[in-house]
Amino acid sequence: MFDEQFSMILSFLIGCGSGISVGIASGTAESFMIPFVTIVLAQSIYQAIGTSLFVDCMIGGAAGLIFLLKGNVKVKPVLILGAAGMLAAVIGSFFTTGASESGLKLLIVIVLISLGIALIRGGVKKNVALVNQKLNLSWFREHKLPSFVLFGSLIGFASGFTGMGSSGAMTFVLIFIMEYDLHVSIGTSLLMMFFIAGTGALTHGIQGDILLSVAIVAGLGAIIGATVGSLSANRINEDLLGRIIGVIITILGILVLIEYIF
């Protein structure tokens, strides 16, 4: 009984930490939840992915609402990205159970560390300028509807497949390709994550790949943490926020890498 109670306390604390991190920096709870579920609770990567998606859904709803109230969400892109991403997340979720556990973890590590280092080194504006110098992405900005459908589908599939809540990847799309400012990018992607991660979690749950008690307790902690994190993020200037995001993402990537190695 003590062990179960202690696990619930840890679940709440991990959820709260996830909420603060993602509420500030966008991203995903999977870097917290997947090591916790697989190492501490000794459950499979597939259950960890489903549980992580549930927590991301809670974070997206809480933090996304705060950004919306602060005027830092574009509603129309949320609807388009969410619709495309929800369908793709269902498809991605069904592919997860046939994928290699080590392959899933390595993919997550590469994405997190690469994005984190890029932001630490150059901040947001410098990286946006660098991307625009090397690539002509004007077609995507001129054709927003098909672009949002495309990116929503790709990121939704990746979310359902890997357990990554989709917010972090979409934030980078909105910043570097669609040229939204950082706060609007984070707010829009967080609210979108509520729909995409929720769909992925539901699909994993139907397949039995979710720890419901852990997900609920961690989700409650995540809502509290996301509220604190998102309120803080709305007060930080764009350049500093970008570098903070880079640090957080890199640390999370390293944590998953350590879990992957050992």
Flag whether pLDDT at 1 surpasses 70.
no
- Residue 217 Cα to chain centre, angstroms: 19
pLDDT in tens, 141-195: 899 999 999 998 988 888 777 666 677 778 888 988 888 988 999 999 999 999 9
Q: Quick one: pLDDT at residue 116?
A: 75
Contacts of 168 (CB under 8 A, 6+ apart): 25, 26, 27, 28, 115, 189, 249
Token representation of residue 87: 């369908």
Q: What pTM did the predictor assign?
A: 0.82
Contact 98, 207 (CB under 8 A): no
Question: Within a 10 A sphere around the Cβ of 143, how many other Cβ atoms?
Answer: 11
Q: Domain limits of the chain?
A: 2-261
Q: Which of 32-46, 154-168, 239-253 has the highest mean pLDDT?
A: 32-46
Q: Quick one: pLDDT at residue 2?
A: 46
Helix, coil or strand: residue 100? coil
Q: Quick one: pLDDT at residue 213?
A: 92
Q: Is 2 exposed, middle or buried (0-12, 13-18, 19+ CB in 10 A)?
A: exposed
Q: Is 107 exposed, middle or buried (0-12, 13-18, 19+ CB in 10 A)?
A: middle
Distance CA 23, CA 11 (A): 18
Question: Is the torsion defined by CA of 20, 23, 27, 29 positive or negative?
Answer: positive
Distance CA 84, CA 23 (A): 23
